[in-house]
Amino acid sequence: MAKKTGHKILNTLQLSNDYSVKPAGLSWRSNTYFIIATVAVALFADLFLYALTVPILPYMLTDRVGLPPEKIQSNVSGLLAAYAGASVVCSPLAGLLADRMSSRQSPFLLGLTALLGATVLLFVGQSIPVLALARVLQGVSGAFVWTIGLALCLETVGQENLGKTIGSIFSFISVGNLCAPLLGGVLYNKAGYAGVFGIGFAVLAIDFIMRVLVIEKKVARRYEAQGAKAGSDLDTTPSHQEDGNANEAQDDDDEQQPLLGSKEEDEAAFKLSDNQPKIARMIPILPCLADPRLLTAFLVALIQALLLGNFDATIPTVAQGYYNFNSLKAGILFLPLGASDLVLGPVFGWCVDRFGTKAVAVIAYLYLVPILILLRLPQPGGQNQAILYGALLALSGAGLAGIGAPSIVEAGAVVQKYYEVNPDFFGADGPYAQLYGLNSMVFSLGLTLGPELAGELKQRIGYGNMNAVLAGICLATSALCFVYIGGKPRLLRRKKS
């Protein structure tokens, strides 16, 4: 009896290769909505616990570590960068590990273990090294959850539904960015560290339960193949090959696909040479990196993270320096930034699926240029200046909502084309975890550079000029998106011919 019980536990955690005994609740645990909900909660937990401490970092460094005011900004930026730096290193490793395992659940749970350790260290830490180690562990967790979570999304809903799925998930997890700084400020002000981290541990508990319960579509199909019902309703989501056929039909209506020419031209553009080096066969995503569309998609993710890191690093210090806000009021300033993302995220995701990645990426980055320049207007002062700052943050949030989905959708579309043309090279499941591992690495690099760049520019040239520099970066990114995202525009193609 004990042996049978243990066998069921192994099946439940997907650690056994015996698919003859179905785990309890297989149908609902492998349901599309439950898988997407699990990914959304995992991403929410990662961002929530990341953002929970952002508004109180200056106060933690003052109260617990005893740093003087002139060292607060540099150390806040450094702690934010520690998180992102760890993600840069670990994201490719997470992608390789996930693609080589039969199930993504084990590395998914490994990331959660790192997040638990990070939360404990943040709760008890009273020195810079301990706080830095906590942020590093948070970065390790982020690398696994974003890499594996995005790969699970693509495998579950297919490329043709990825835009609205990512937009909806980003809208949901923006609640974490929206609520966490506010809750962090409120709880720190009212209940101290116990209140702040108590809610963090509660979120971790929910995340853990869902990650243990979830069963991937491909794993569910293995159980079904062993059972009497070979044609159950679990296999409702088409495989990558089926997604590709559906995408070809839909992509004819998208702006970018007609630019790729006929099917023969399409295959020639994405065909990989048979003489690939050994490292490319070990890491099959590498040959795809020669594609300028994929590189530009990564650039979009980099700049998006750069902007997010900038806001995370500067809003608390501007609130403290300009308006003498405490942690509670500093957290409230994140509210307008996150609210715009919450409302507009699904809308922009739908626009990406309907109108293509180029239009959304170009317009969103162009929109951010004047908004960032207008952030020069708020000055130290009273309530009117604080309201102006909050309004501009809300407008900035609308732009940030628009640049979220295009990168992920574009990268997935490009790699799917390579996979369809070169199925033998990539194997049965494709290099999607590797792709999103690189995407997570690039995003984390932006989170690393964002706080450091923001802190350095803010101290050297002032907050207004810092935002003007970021506006120039957005303008250049918009131009690159116009040229490369979704394929070259027809005007440039005609000139070339």
Mean pLDDT over 9-32 rounds to 66
Vertex 365, ends 364 and 366: CA angle to 5°? 90
Q: Is the pLDDT of residue 467 over 80?
A: yes
Is 259:486 a contact under the CB 8 Å cutoff? yes
What is the average pLDDT score of the chain? 76
More confident: 164 or 265: 164
Q: Where are the alpha helices (DSSP H) in 126-284?
A: 128-157, 162-213, 217-226, 240-251, 263-270, 278-282
Which among 14-28, 86-100, 172-186 has the top mean pLDDT? 86-100
The model's pLDDT over 51-66, given as tens digits with 9 standing for 90+, comes to 777 667 777 787 777 7
The pLDDT score that the predictor gives to residue 186 is 72
238 exposure class (CB count in 10 Å sphere: 0-12, 13-18, 19+)? middle
Is 195:442 a contact under the CB 8 Å cutoff? no
The pLDDT score that the predictor gives to residue 24 is 79
- List the single range of 165-174, 175-184, 451-460 with lowest mean pLDDT: 175-184
The model's pLDDT over 238-261, given as tens digits with 9 standing for 90+, comes to 444 444 444 444 444 444 444 444
All residues at 6 or more sequence positions from 412 whose CB lies less than 8 Å from its CB, including other chains: 154, 159, 162, 432, 435
The pLDDT score that the predictor gives to residue 327 is 65
Is 289:295 a contact under the CB 8 Å cutoff? yes
473 pLDDT tier (thresholds 50, 70, 90): very high
pTM: 0.69
Q: Which residue has the tokens 């795809």?
A: 288
- List the single range of 185-194, 273-282, 459-468, 470-479 with lowest mean pLDDT: 185-194
The pLDDT score that the predictor gives to residue 475 is 95
The pLDDT score that the predictor gives to residue 230 is 44
Q: Which of 286, 278, 264, 282 is nearest to 415 (CA)?
A: 286
Token couple for 52: 């929970």
Domains of the chain: 23-225+274-489 (1.20.1250.20)
What are the b/e assignments for 432-441, b being 16+ CB within 10 Å? bbbbbbbbbb
227 pLDDT tier (thresholds 50, 70, 90): low
Q: What percent of the chain has pLDDT over 70?
A: 80
Q: Which of 293, 308, 432 is nearest to 368 (CA)?
A: 308
Handedness of CA 127, 133, 135, 138 (dihedral sign): negative
The pLDDT score that the predictor gives to residue 256 is 43
